[in-house]
Amino acid sequence: MIELKNFKKSFGELEVLKGIDLSIQKGEIISIIGASGSGKSTLLRLINALEQADDGVMTLNGKTYEMHTLKEKDKRAIRKQASMVFQNYNLFKHKTALENVMEGLIVDGMAKKEAVVIATELLTDVGLLDKLSSYPSQLSGGQQQRVGIARAMALKPEIILFDEPTSALDPELVGEVLETIKQLATHETTLIVVTHEMKFAREISDRIVFMDAGAISAEGSTEEIFNHSNPRLKAFLGL
């Protein structure tokens, strides 16, 4: 349902992605793990077209995109199908929690009234009904990230991309965000989660992808990954 072929990206001399191939089924939950600098986040950002790939082809819902020559229209089409949840939440600081979730719906042409209903529902789902009119600065990191997840869900995307959703959180707030993601995992949405939370990855993933130095070094079911013979992976997992 989403297929990546030969995703490449360099920043100057530094080759961050060396040709990634990955194919993901509808509703599948994929965790991408790997050391810092292995290219995990860059891969998500290429999928979301926040960075322009140097090369690569993506097939999304039967439509094929040449990733190094994307037009603005294509980028928007991709982003509406693949929402992003950011490491630093990136909630719109001048808007309330409710307005943050409504924003994507309104620019998509939905009437404000309808958007309020949907956004309220989503914020209720993530347990923030009492925070509708709070500004991001009035919310804890965990609450902000849950708003971020609701905002991504609002667009009813095929895929939600999580870019280290708990890395910026205080340890005691990680749980509530992971819980929210787990709830999502029971829906039909495809989830691609870049994470350092191994226990979490093991619990929710249908498949785990291990990236090392800009390439996929191992992939498989959680069982396969945690019993893999790949020495780099073993070292990374501390096995």
Residues near another protein (CB under 8 A) = 48, 50, 72, 75-76, 79-80, 83-84, 86, 88, 90-94, 103-104, 107-108, 135-138, 151, 155
Nearest to another protein of 5, 95 (CB atom)? 95
Question: Minimal distance in Å, beta carbon 47 to another protein?
Answer: 11
Are the beta carbons of 56 and 67 closer than 8 angstroms?
Answer: yes
Smaller CB separation from another protein, 88 or 227: 88
Q: Mark residue 96 as left, alpha or beta (left: phi above 0; alpha: psi -120 to 50; beta: remaining).
A: beta
* Shortest Cβ 25–another protein spacing (Å): 23
CA dist 37 → 15, 43, 201, 207 (Å): 11, 11, 19, 21
Crossing angle for the helix pair 112-125 and 97-107, nearest 10 degrees?
A: 130
CB contact at 8 A, 29 and 191: yes
Nearer to another protein, 8 or 151 (CB): 151
DSSP character for 133? T
Q: Which is nearer to another protein, 44 or 233 (CB)?
A: 44
Distance (Å, rounded) from C-alpha 58 to C-alpha 63? 8
**What is the DSSP track for 175-231?**
HHHHHHHHHHHTSS-EEEEE-S-HHHHHHH-SEEEEEETTEEEEEE-HHHHHT---H
The DSSP code for 164 is: S
By beta-carbon proximity to another protein, the closer residue of 135 and 226 is 135
CB of 159 to another protein, least distance (A): 12
Q: Which is nearer to another protein, 33 or 47 (CB)?
A: 47
CA distance 134 to 138: 6
Minimum distance from residue 52 beta carbon to another protein (Å): 12
Q: How far is the CB of 190 from another protein (least distance, A)?
A: 16
Q: Quick one: 14 or 107, whose CB is closer to another protein?
A: 107
Q: Identify the three-state secondary structure at position 63.
A: strand
DSSP label of 96: -
Q: How far is the CB of 193 from another protein (least distance, A)?
A: 16
Nearest distance from C-beta of residue 58 to another protein, angstroms: 16
